[in-house]
Every structure is written in C-alpha cells, then in structure tokens.
Chains A and B, each alone.
Chain A
Amino acid sequence: MTRLSRRRVQAIFAKDLREFRRNRSLTAGMGIIPVLFSVQPLITVLTVSSAASTTLRHEHVLLYMLGIPALVPSLVAAYSIVGERQQGTLEPVLTTPIRRQELLLGKALAALVPSIVVAYLVFALFLACVGLFAAPSVASALIRVPDLIAQLVFTPLLAGWSIWTAMLISTWASDVRVAQQLAMVASLPSVAVIVLVALNVIPASLVTAAVAAAALLLLNRLGLRLVSATFDRERLITGTR
C-alpha cells in the first residue's frame, strides 16, 4: 500500500473541523442529539425513589448514552463528501496531489474527534448529575464499573462504524439532507441493539461485549477500504453513474 501523507490528512482534518464549527446546522444537530439522549434518562434517574433502585440493577441505563456516538458522527460524516460536492469545493481539492485514502481518513478523523469529545463530555456531565442529585442508592445501582468501561470502549468503535456508513452514503448521495437522513436511518440498527442491551433484552455479558467489540473493530478496518473503493473521482466530479 502507498504511504499516506500525514500532512495532507492533517490539512483535511483541520479544514473540516473548522468547517463543522462554523456550520450552524451541523453544530445544532451535534447539540440536539446529545440532549435527546441524556435528558429523558436523567429525569427518570433523578425522579426514581430509593425503593425502586433495585429495578435499575437489572438494567444498564448508562448504555443508553451510546446512542450519542452512534448518531452524532453520522450527521457530520454524511455531510463531508456531498457537502463539498454541493459547494463546488471537491473538484479543487481533487486537483491537488491528495490520494483518496488521505482525503477520506482526514474527513473521518474530523467527524470522529468532535463526536467522541461530545459523547464523553455528555456522559461525564450525566454521571456528575447522578452523583450530585440522585438518591445514593440510585447512584450506586446505576454507576457500575463494567458499564463505565463499556461506555469508554464502545464510544469510539460505534462512532467509527457510524462514520464509515455515513461516508459511504455521502459518496453516493447528491443532496446533503438526503445523505444525513439516510445516514441516520442506517444508524438505527446500532441504536436498536444499544436499547435492547440497556433494557437487558440482550443480556450484557463479557462475551457479548467481546464479540460486539471484535465485530466493530473488523467493520472499522473494512470501512476505509470499502469507502475508498467506492470513492470514484470521475462520478463525483461529473455526476455520471
């Protein structure tokens, strides 16, 4: 495999981060999803009585928060290719010596980093609120080390998978909104699995976690190759299929 240029990857990463920061619709989307995934569980946890805390021991409420890394990056990554096409900025970038893997890696990292920061930040805030305001028995029933580790491990893995799926859609779509909607729909199976695990419908065991982590690792490795293989300069520039 040809050696990739770190400088070019960094250039795309820095440029995309700046673009996301200044794009209000993207920043609003990145803000709304975490609110939706944290407010409802927070209200439930803060209003539940100490007597009911035993029911919480049979669930994994914290894992609901994994919905954030499953959905936030898909919104950003779905914008990354088709957004540039719509603005007419993709062609000038492709006339430089950049390789498609460098472009895709830079874009993926630019979607990954803010998504992970947002997911960890919201999770930390959630834990702080539970620790400060929930009944002590509720807090101890909720905050369990395996769930914390699962949160830390699965946040980047889910975000990565979500990004490659969204970028695959972005290379084929001809409209930003359509790409974002399709990417959200494509993330729903991940969210469904998260909810089923959180509700203990799928039992949360070490084996389940290990299998899921291995599968996501494999999918993330395949992601760059798959998106790279479908990234067709000619089709993206001329619009021919």
Chain B
Amino acid sequence: MSASDGLVSSGEEPSAPALSADHLSKRFGGRVAFDDVTFEVGRGEVFGFLGPNGAGKTTTVRALGTLIQPTSGTATVAGIPLMPENGVEIRRRISVMPESPGLYLRHSVIENLECFAELYEIPDPAERVDRALRAMNLTDRGADACGTLSKGLRQRVALARALLNDPEVLFLDEPTSGLDPVAVREVHELIDGLRRQGVTIFLTTHRLEEAERLCDRVAILNTTLRTIGRPDELRDRLFTKTLSVRTAEPLPEPDRVFGGLAGVDGWRQDGPAGYLLAVSDTNLAAPAAVRALVAAGADVLSIAESRHSLEDVYLKLIDDDEAVRR
C-alpha cells in the first residue's frame, strides 16, 4: 500500500507509461462496446484515439476515467492500477473533458471553476482559478453566466476546468466537435501549449487532420483496436510509397525508362503523360528517375512523392472492416 489513503499501488516507476491498457474489454449485456484493447501511452505524449461513431472511444475514456468498470482486462492510469478502490486517487491525478462541456449554465464562469477547484481540494482555489482563466484567455468573461457564452467559449471554460488540478493525464473527448474553424484553431493552440508543458493527452477525435496535426501517435478503434503507431508509420505500413511523374509528352517506351531503376519496384500509367512509380526508397528512386527521364529526352513537368493522408489510412481500415462484416 502506498502512503495515499487506501491506494493499491503498482510500484510505480518514473519511466512507467502514463497510461496503459492490457486486453481491456467492456460489454453492456450482449453488446460489445470495445474488446481486447491493448496500448501504452508515454508520459508527455499526445495520443490520438480515432474511430467511427459507436466504435467505443467514449466508453474507453469513461473506463480509463473510472466512470465505468471494464468487463475484463487490466489498465494503469497515471501509474495507478485501474481498480474500484483506486478510483478516487486516479481521479485526483487525471482530468476528463467530456464531449459536452457540462457547465452549470446559470452559474458564472468563475463559479463553475471555483466549484471544481473545491472538489479537487486545491490549496489556493482563487489563485488557481485565476491562473486557469488567464491560460484560456477568459479573464474578461469570468463574471459572465455560462449560458450566455458561445459554444467555443464554453469549450474553453471546460478546458480551463480540466486544467485546475494540473492533471498528469488529460482525456479530451472530441474537444473540437461542433466548433467553427476559428474556435477549432484556438483549441488546437491550447492543446499545443499543453503538449509543450509536458501534459500527457489522450485525445479522441473524428477529425483526422486534427489527429495528424496534434498527435505523436494514433490508434484506430473499431470496437477492437485496428492499428496503432505514428501517422507516418501507419501510412508506410498500409500503403506502398509512390512517386508521381508528369512529362510534357507521353514516353514512347516507359518500361525501358523505369524498368530496373534503383529503388523502383514497379510502375503504372496515370493519365496520358503521367506515371506512378511504386518505390521502396524515395531518396534513391527520385534522383534515379529524373536521370533516366532526362537521358530518355523527356521534358519533365513534375516529379513528386504521393503522400497518403491519415484519412486514407483510416478509411482503408474501416472499409476493410465493413467488407469483412458484409
């Protein structure tokens, strides 16, 4: 037992992950919310959790946030084993920002934050609330009733509330859902700021460009965990790298130009004067292809690496799942 009251300790080490799940599952009766989920999130990492509606993202956050009990599997949150008896201690060290801000609309911004500062038993609540307001650029809105704020401002208040206890792990469930582009940019900047401060962030999102921009690693969940890794790793794992070549005129004998080039595994036509080269190493293949084209007397208009987005990765995995189900 640790010094903390009633805490069942994992013998936490400084190098231990901030968050880990091992074959974690949750069923509601016969319905599977998520199944056999295993991952680790390092300290200070921004970890994206992607998946379609009903994939189990929010339920996973609720399970890790001690709101619901997993059916099977184990997990550690902020270094503490996920067990009912550790719920209070885990919740002391984390913050969860649900998809809906859940503010008391008849209360002012300051009243909302003060209530939560008391619930976290923060030693100097007034100073901490003031700091959170300044961090979220809300100082001049502190006295306003939350019901009078725009959706973007409410999201900022919810984020300020989530920072009151200086969490070791911050769970953000769809933090930009329903926000306009300006508000989205503001939330992204705030998350960037938290990353610089070393806060571990577990971010569930539908916005793939958001995950690509903000996250060090992402996991794609569709009831089971489909894949996990850095966005560029996932691209490389799922798609072959390609070089897109455009010439002024169609090549008379493209096979002779591209066949046997270093780093080029194959090629195919892409339009009348366009070619897609499957490559194993772009740095090797691109100069070789340029030299071969020039030697063949071709006028090269462009040569570029075709990049697959995280969206391509996501859609491929989800489409594969759909195909299997059909």
What is A's interface to B at a CB cutoff of 8 Å?
Answer: 2-3, 5, 7-8, 10-12, 14-15, 18-19, 22-23, 87-99, 233-234, 237-238, 240
Tell whether, in the assembled complex, residue A19 and residue B106 are in contact, meaning their CB atoms are under 8 Å apart: yes
Mark each residue of chain B from 103 to 138: 1 if its CB lies under 8 Å from any CB of chain A, else 0: 111110001000110111100000000000000000
What is B's interface to A at a CB cutoff of 8 Å?
Answer: 5-6, 28-29, 59, 62, 65, 67-69, 88-89, 91-92, 94-96, 98, 100-107, 111, 115-116, 118-121, 158, 161
Within the complex, the shortest CB–CB distance from B154 to chain A, in Å, comes to 11
14 interchain pairs (CB within 8 A)?
A2-B6, A5-B121, A7-B118, A15-B111, A18-B106, A18-B107, A18-B111, A87-B102, A87-B105, A92-B98, A96-B91, A96-B116, A233-B67, A233-B68
Q: What chain B residues lie within 8 Å of A11 (beta carbons)? A: 115, 118-119
Partner of A23, one of B91, B103, B106, B158: B106
Within the complex, the shortest CB–CB distance from B96 to chain A, in Å, comes to 4
Assembled-state Cα–Cα distance A11/B103 (Å):
15
Tell whether, in the assembled complex, residue A234 and residue B69 are in contact, meaning their CB atoms are under 8 Å apart: yes
Assembled-state Cα–Cα distance A22/B67 (Å):
29
- In the complex where A8-B121, A95-B67, A234-B68 touch, is A88 in contact with B106 (Cβ < 8 A)? no
Q: What chain B residues lie within 8 Å of A7 (beta carbons)? A: 118, 121
Tell whether, in the assembled complex, residue B102 and residue A238 are in contact, meaning their CB atoms are under 8 Å apart: no
Within the complex, the shortest CB–CB distance from B98 to chain A, in Å, comes to 5
Tell whether, in the assembled complex, residue A94 and residue B115 are in contact, meaning their CB atoms are under 8 Å apart: no
Tell whether, in the assembled complex, residue B106 and residue A89 are in contact, meaning their CB atoms are under 8 Å apart: no
Tell whether, in the assembled complex, residue A8 and residue B118 are in contact, meaning their CB atoms are under 8 Å apart: yes
Assembled-state Cα–Cα distance A11/B114 (Å):
9
Q: What chain A residues lie within 8 Å of B89 (beta carbons)? A: 97
Please name the residue on chain B nearest to A2 by beta carbon.
B6
- In the complex where A89-B103, A238-B28 touch, is A95 in contact with B115 (Cβ < 8 A)? no
Q: What chain B residues lie within 8 Å of A19 (beta carbons)? A: 104, 106-107
Tell whether, in the assembled complex, residue B6 and residue A95 are in contact, meaning their CB atoms are under 8 Å apart: no
Tell whether, in the assembled complex, residue B67 and residue A14 are in contact, meaning their CB atoms are under 8 Å apart: no
Tell whether, in the assembled complex, residue A97 and residue B103 are in contact, meaning their CB atoms are under 8 Å apart: no
Tell whether, in the assembled complex, residue A95 and residue B106 are in contact, meaning their CB atoms are under 8 Å apart: no
Assembled-state Cα–Cα distance A10/B207 (Å):
40
Q: What chain B residues lie within 8 Å of A3 (beta carbons)? A: 5
Report which residue of A7, A94, A96 has the largest number of chain B beta carbons within 10 angstroms of its beta carbon.
A96
Within the complex, the shortest CB–CB distance from A13 to chain B, in Å, comes to 10
Tell whether, in the assembled complex, residue B120 and residue A96 are in contact, meaning their CB atoms are under 8 Å apart: yes
Partner of A237, one of B67, B115, B121, B158: B67
- In the complex where A91-B98, A234-B67 touch, is A15 in contact with B106 (Cβ < 8 A)? no
Assembled-state Cα–Cα distance A236/B37 (Å):
24
Other CB < 8 Å A-B pairs besides A15-B104, A18-B107, A88-B98, 19 of them?
Answer: A2-B5, A8-B119, A8-B121, A10-B118, A18-B106, A22-B106, A88-B102, A89-B103, A92-B101, A94-B67, A95-B96, A97-B91, A99-B88, A234-B69, A237-B62, A238-B59, A238-B62, A238-B68, A240-B29
Please name the residue on chain A nearest to B117 by beta carbon.
A11
Q: What chain B residues lie within 8 Å of A92 (beta carbons)? A: 96, 98, 101-102, 116, 158, 161
Within the complex, the shortest CB–CB distance from B292 to chain A, in Å, comes to 60
Q: What chain A residues lie within 8 Å of B67 (beta carbons)? A: 91, 94-95, 233-234, 237
Assembled-state Cα–Cα distance A223/B26 (Å):
32
Assembled-state Cα–Cα distance A10/B120 (Å):
12
Q: What chain B residues lie within 8 Å of A87 (beta carbons)? A: 102, 104-105
Tell whether, in the assembled complex, residue A91 and residue B120 are in contact, meaning their CB atoms are under 8 Å apart: no
Assembled-state Cα–Cα distance A95/B58 (Å):
13
Q: What chain B residues lie within 8 Å of A8 (beta carbons)? A: 118-119, 121
Q: What chain A residues lie within 8 Å of B59 (beta carbons)? A: 238
Q: What chain B residues lie within 8 Å of A91 (beta carbons)? A: 67, 96, 98, 100, 102
Please name the residue on chain A nearest to B103 by beta carbon.
A89
Tell whether, in the assembled complex, residue B100 and residue A88 are in contact, meaning their CB atoms are under 8 Å apart: yes
Assembled-state Cα–Cα distance A93/B160 (Å):
14
Within the complex, the shortest CB–CB distance from B201 to chain A, in Å, comes to 15
Partner of A97, one of B92, B104, B161: B92
Q: What chain A residues lie within 8 Å of B68 (beta carbons)? A: 233-234, 237-238
Assembled-state Cα–Cα distance A95/B62 (Å):
9
Q: What chain A residues lie within 8 Å of B161 (beta carbons)? A: 92
Q: What chain A residues lie within 8 Å of B115 (beta carbons)? A: 11, 14-15
Please name the residue on chain A nearest to B171 by beta carbon.
A95
